[in-house]
Structure 1
Amino acid sequence: RKTMRFVPVKTAEQQAAAMVLKTRGLLVRQRTQVINALRAHLSELGIIAGISSAKVAGLIDIVRDETDARLPKAARLALSAIADQIEALMRQIDDLEREIVREARRDGDMRRMATIPGVGAITAASIKALVPDPGGFKSGRHFAAWLGLTPRSHSSGGKERLGGISKMGNAELRSLLVLGATSVLRHMRGNDKTPKWLNGLLKRRPYKVVAVALANKMARIIWALLTKGGTYRGLEAANSAASA
């Protein structure tokens, strides 16, 4: 079949890199689960904290404080085990992230991807490990569609009806790009350096829709850098290369 896209066999190095990323993802999910358990148990005793890592550290300090009379002895014993688990998971995640950052600095493709606003070491490493052959896509549009960052079409009879994003491809890659795009929008909103097309889109469409549109643009820029080489020159300058 002429339209068939063949997937190349991954090398042992690519599989190992993917294992590091998947292990980190598993530990992050476990950390979230254990933190939620600690919050829930303490809230039953009237101890509530805001959502942030610093607030979690405050809850752990309360658990470890033997003079705090709000916690019964049995509760302190059980919650101390949860606090130990949270700290162990944080250390393990930090170790893996340091290794990912070191690898991103060594690899030329990852260094160039990391220059794109919203693309950090984790995103660059994920793309490098999970997309073995970017040249297998005809264009950046095909790559963005493979990631599920394009609208699902329900068109018929000459009438175009576009729904939400198709959510095809790897959910983790798509999530990382959307999160990166959301971070870029948060810092660019109201800034004089915001590209005109992005400002216009923010005026016409909801915030989350614009974030997905920017993630689509980032995916196309990533494809252009990986297949055509060169360096990132800014969202406006990259329009022609990314849409090729």
Structure 2
Amino acid sequence: MGLEAGATAAWLYNGLRKRGLAAICIDPRRLRALTKTMPIKNDRNDARAIAGCLRVGWFSIVHVKSDESQEIRMLLCNRRTLQTKQIDIENEIRGTLRFRHQARRSHNLGLRARSRADREHASPGGHGETDADRPSGSSTACAVLHKMMLDMVRKDETCRQLMTIPGVGAITAVTYLTTIDDPARFERSRDVGAHLGLTPKKYASGEVDRNSGISKCGDVAMRSTPYQASLALLTRSTKNSGIRAWGLAVAKRRGFRRTVVAVARKLAIVMHRVWADGTEYHWESKAATAN
């Protein structure tokens, strides 16, 4: 049975699997080219297209994450949403206060009158006080979610193993854990870089053969997390390691921006190898810098 990846695909997949049915979740990007040729698109024709793809084998299987990984991922998404909204509210209040300060110093009577009206409107009990109180509430909620996430990381053995890698913290470890979900999905560790969209795109046709930027396939949150870890490793880390030494050597040849992406891909590969082997990272090991 073939299911198109979507919002309810995981629920349907798990339910069919529990009932002993052979169900798979397929990539909808392969179906898009087929459904575009249909003059009439409806659910019946979509089901016929999925059956045709399964019959000829023209599909890619999408991994459905476990319920535990999805719950942790939901916690991370909620934390990131609250953190983003908190920053937006703080920036909005900071901009408002800066405008009022400039208006107070202005000699324009219209601006001064407007600033006075704004100050009166933001008096205790008014609308301004309620807006100012919002960041404290979002900060508290974000701190609660952050503590819940840290408690999960402390209890998880895999996260503690991943955090032995330089530049990998709690956020990077738990995000990687929920994204990969099962290290046995990849036959080779280097395939993780392509899965996360950290490998360059290639166009070869006739006499044209060129490489461009990274493909940016896969999970956006997971791709940005090792990028931030790579940036912190290269700029803020004070302890020498094989990955950092390799990255600094690449920076001398290719530039800093490409080096950050290359080190991010290296971190993703090393994290998969550490997880698959069940070992910890050895800081002085030369194998850590191998491709």
Normalising by the smaller structure, the TM-score range is 0.7 to 0.9
SS of structure 2 residue aligned to 1:115: coil
Instruction: Confirm or deny that 1:72 pairs with 2:119.
Output: yes
The 8 Å contact of residues 143 and 220 in structure 1, kept in 2 or not, is answered as yes
SS for the counterpart of 1:232 is: coil
Correspondence for 1:143 among 169, 175, 192: 192
Aligned to 1:44: 99
Pair 1:226-2:275 in alignment: yes
* Residue of structure 2 in register with 1:134 after alignment: 183
Asked if residue 13 in structure 1 is aligned to residue 68 in structure 2, the reply is: yes
Normalising by the residue count of structure 1, what TM-score does the alignment of the two structures yield?
0.79
Letter in 2 for 1:135: A
1:34 to 89, 112, 130: 89
Match of 1:124 among 152, 173, 186: 173
CA distance in structure 2 between the aligned counterparts of 1:155 and 1:95, rounded to whole angstroms: 50
Cα 1:218–1:4 change in 2 (3 A) is: farther
Matches within 5 A, 1:183-202: 183-188=232-237, 195-202=244-251
- The one-letter code sitting in structure 1 at the alignment partner of 2:121 is A
Q: AA paired with 1:112? A: Q
Q: Which moved more, 1:155-164 or 1:77-86?
A: 155-164
Contact 1:18 1:129 in 2 (8 A): yes
Flag the 1:196–1:157 CA change in 2: closer, same or farther, 3 A.
farther
Scaled by the length of structure 2, what TM-score is found? 0.67
Contact residue 90 and residue 135 of structure 2 kept, 8 A: yes
Cα RMSD over matched residues?
2.7
Letter in 2 for 1:93: C
Contact kept? 2:75, 2:145, Cα under 8 Å = yes
Q: Which has the higher contact order (CA 8 A, sep 6+)?
A: 1
Following superposition, the deviation at residue 196 of structure 1 comes to 4.2
Equivalent residues of 1:110, 1:128 under 8 A apart: yes
Q: Does 1:205 align with 2:260?
A: no
Q: CA deviation at 1:130?
A: 2.3
Partner of 2:37: none
Displacement after TM superposition at 1:184 (Å): 0.7
**Cα distance in 2 between the residues matched to 1:85 and 1:215:** 36
Q: Is 1:179–2:228 an aligned residue pair?
A: yes
**Counterpart among 94, 97, 106 of residue 143 in structure 2:** 94
Matched residues in 2 for 1:121 and 1:111: separation?
8
Structure 2 unaligned spans of 5+:
1-55, 103-115
